[in-house]
Amino acid sequence: MYLGRVIGTVVASRVAHGLVGSKLLLVQPLDDRLQPNGPVQAAVDTVKAGPDDLVYLVGSREAALALDPWFVPVDAAIVGIVDQLYTPEQTP
Amino acid sequence: MKMCRVVGNVVATEKHPVYQGQKLMIVQPLDQHGNDSGTSFLAVDTVQAGPGDRVIVMSEGNGVRQILDMDVQLPIRSLIVGIVDQVDCPAEV
């Protein structure tokens, strides 16, 4: 599970069977300093996130379990919109 | 499982139902000397860890399902499963 910034929306009319009707957003994964961390990825949204939202995602098989039905070809799902980060132990 | 330092936590009201009531912490993987090694990520806390604690984090869905034992599908992958008291590391790699 990791932080991410929603940077856009992905529209795909021809998708695999399990992805029909799911909302795809473009996300830049971030580290705890909100610095980019790894390539931009498409993720299925389950919490009505929008562009520029700071969110957190779950990856690999557990991402599919965020959806109903859960047997879908998904490996990244947005499962929360971050209100605030509290990082007292961040190294300088 | 990884040894990590708890950096802080994440506050989120709009989230997937299974995250309700869970403490979501930011953890930074450590090497055997306690130096940061690798990229920080998030983990749900099950042992009342706090910022600054050295913890053991497990990142595998099946283990999560066993520990949290909720009868729904869990989109949770990483759990803090232990607070480290001491590390003895006589053998140098």
Report pLDDT for B93. Answer: 72
Q: Please count the other Cβ atoms lying within 10 Å of the Cβ belonging to residue B69.
A: 8
Residue range B18-77, pLDDT digits in tens: 999 999 999 999 999 999 999 999 999 999 999 999 999 999 999 999 999 898 899 999
Q: What is the ipTM of this complex?
A: 0.91
Q: Look at residue A92 and tell me whether its pLDDT is greater than 90.
A: no
User: Which CATH code is given to the segment(s) B2-83?
Assistant: 2.40.50.220
Contact state of A79 with B73 under an 8 Å Cβ cutoff: no
Of all residues in chain A, the one with the smallest CA distance to B54 is: A89
Report pLDDT for A22. Answer: 92
Mutate to test the interface with A, among B2, B4, B7, B57 (most CBs of A within 10 A): B7
Single-letter residue type at B36: D
d(CA A28, CA A39): 7
d(CA B86, CA A67): 40
Residue range A7-59, pLDDT digits in tens: 999 999 999 988 999 999 999 999 999 999 999 999 999 999 999 999 999 99
Contact state of B8 with A1 under an 8 Å Cβ cutoff: no
Closest in B11, B13, B41 to A2, CB measured: B41
Report pLDDT for A18. Answer: 87
Angle A89-B29-A5 (CA atoms, 0-180°, nearest 5)?
A: 75
Report pLDDT for B16. Answer: 96
CATH numbers and ranges of domains, chain A: 2-83 (2.40.50.220)
Q: Look at residue B91 and tell me whether its pLDDT is greater than 80.
A: yes
Q: Are A45 and A67 in contact (CB under 8 A)?
A: no
Closest in A38, A48, A62 to B75, CB measured: A62
Contacts of A25 (CB under 8 A, 6+ apart): A6, A8, A9, A10, A42, A43, A44, A45, A49, A51, A78
Which residues in chain A touch residue B40, judged by CB atoms under 8 angstroms apart?
Answer: 31-32
Residue range A61-89, pLDDT digits in tens: 999 999 988 889 999 999 999 999 999 99
H runs (alpha helix) in chain A? 61-64
pLDDT band at B12 (very low <50, low <70, confident <90, very high): very high
